[in-house]
Amino acid sequence: MDHSGHGMMMDLPPFTLGRGLEFSGDPFFMISCLLGLGLYGWAVVRLRRRGDAWPVGRTVAFVLGVLTVALVMCTKLNEYGMVMFSVHMVQHMVISMLSPILILLGAPVTLALRALPAAGRGRKGPREWLVALLHSRYMRIITHPAFTIPLFIASLYALYFTPLFDFLMGSKTGHIAMMVHFLAVGLVFFWPIMGVDPGPHRPGYVMRMLELFAGMPFHAFFGIALMMASEPMIGTYTNPPASLGIDPLSDQQAGGGIAWAFSEIPSVVVLIALVYQWYRSDQRQARRSDRTADRDGDKELAAYNAYLASLRTREQ
């Protein structure tokens, strides 16, 4: 497939990491990343100026998340990804699994709710519209595991193993739409699992872990299927430019290996984040219990001791 019609060079030299990381600056993603960083920075500054704190760790996580998007979409990786399946799979894995986790750890929704001014009684502004969206039926549907897990899986199998992928790769607009889709799917899949920002679907920590591991094996199976294939399965990458000096089947198997290996990385990152959140939640609960006990003289403990005493009295 000829990608030269939307700005992709067919005579790219053989891939090296140095060549792949050269800046190319895709306008859509470059503007989007700068806008995201600018809005986040504005909100943090707004909080600081009115004397409110915002965790540095959240800012760092968000910035890293946006930079990972820029890394795979605003460098020559984006051009090589049009003609090399292995490079494309690096883009896909980063933008759908690593970038969303980092962005969500930055708690952008919480920051927006704290930074946006209230519109006043009887009026609706950006903050009120955001609150309405968070409480909408639409948001309850797209963050429910019955929707997010099948969507997460379908984004692999229904896309790559049907003509839809080749159709989208046939134009720059289609390619951008596909990458935006990958990012959006990652965000809605990990949002209820991460539990940092408010949302309509907030299961317990054990259920979040189950949701996480329900989706991850399908990435591994997808990668293994590509690695074990005896012929190229993705039409777009069947005839790579001769200047690359690659074998399409070997490149596909490398891409499958990347998909298989990468499926473990976000699982570990999210699991660590969940365990930490669980620990912090238990600590907060313990502090609340201690404060309650200090205020009421620990009536709950006294009542329990009285109950035990009554049991002993009955036994006598």
Distance (Å) of CA 111 to CA 52, 72, 228: 11, 26, 45
Answer whether residue 30 shows pLDDT above 50.
Answer: yes
Phi, psi of 172, rounded to the nearest 5 degrees: -65, -40
What mean pLDDT is predicted for residues 27-39? 96
Rounded to an integer, what distance in angstroms lies between the CA atom of residue 146 and that of residue 112? 28
pLDDT of residue 8: 46
What pLDDT digit, counting tens, does each position of 129-139 carry?
888 888 888 88
pLDDT of residue 181: 95
Kind plus residue range of the DSSP H or E element containing 44: helix 27-49
What are the structure tokens assigned to 253, written together? 């198997």
Give percent of the chain with pLDDT exceeding 70. Answer: 85
For 128-153, letters b (16+ CB in 10 Å) and e give eeeeeebeeeebeebbebeebbebbb
Residues 23, 17: Cα–Cα separation, whole Å:
12
CA 124 to the chain's CA centroid: 30
3-12, 39-48, 141-150, 274-283: which has the minimum mean pLDDT? 3-12
The pLDDT, as a whole number, for residue 82 is 92
Looking at per-residue pLDDT, the higher value among 149 and 5 belongs to 149
One-letter amino acid at 6 equals H
Q: Give burial (CB, 10 Å; 0-12/13-18/19+) of 24.
A: middle
**Strand, helix or coil at 75?**
strand
> Do the Cβ atoms of 233 and 252 come closer than 8 Å?
yes
Q: Which residue has the higher pLDDT, 39 or 217?
A: 39
Half-sphere exposure of 250 (CA within 13 A, CB side): 5
* Residue 238 confidence (pLDDT) above 80: yes
State the average pLDDT over residues 49-77. 95
For residue 111, pLDDT over 70 is answered with yes
Token duo for residue 217:
């094996």
Residue 243, pLDDT above cutoff 70? yes
Statement: residue 6 has pLDDT above 50: no
Residues 6 or more apart from 210 whose CB is under 8 A from it?
Answer: none
Note the helical H segments in 50-161: 56-73, 77-80, 85-93, 99-105, 108-115, 126-134, 137-142, 145-160
Instruction: Tell me which amino acid residue 207 is.
Output: M
Query: What pLDDT was estimated at residue 13?
Result: 92
Residue-wise pLDDT for 91-110, tens only, equals 999 999 899 999 999 999 99
Contact 236, 164 (CB under 8 A): no
Indicate the range of 26-35, 144-153, 163-172, 205-214 predicted with least confidence: 205-214
User: Residue 36, SS3?
Assistant: helix
Of 316 and 108, the one with more pLDDT: 108
Give yes or no for residue 295 having a pLDDT over 50.
yes
User: Contact at 8 Å (CB) between 96 and 186?
Assistant: yes
Summarised one tens digit per residue, pLDDT across range 196-224 is 888 777 777 777 778 877 877 887 888 89
* Model confidence band, residue 294 (pLDDT cutoffs 50, 70, 90): low
In sequence order, which residues have a C-beta less than 8 Å from that of residue 136 and are 6 or more positions away? none
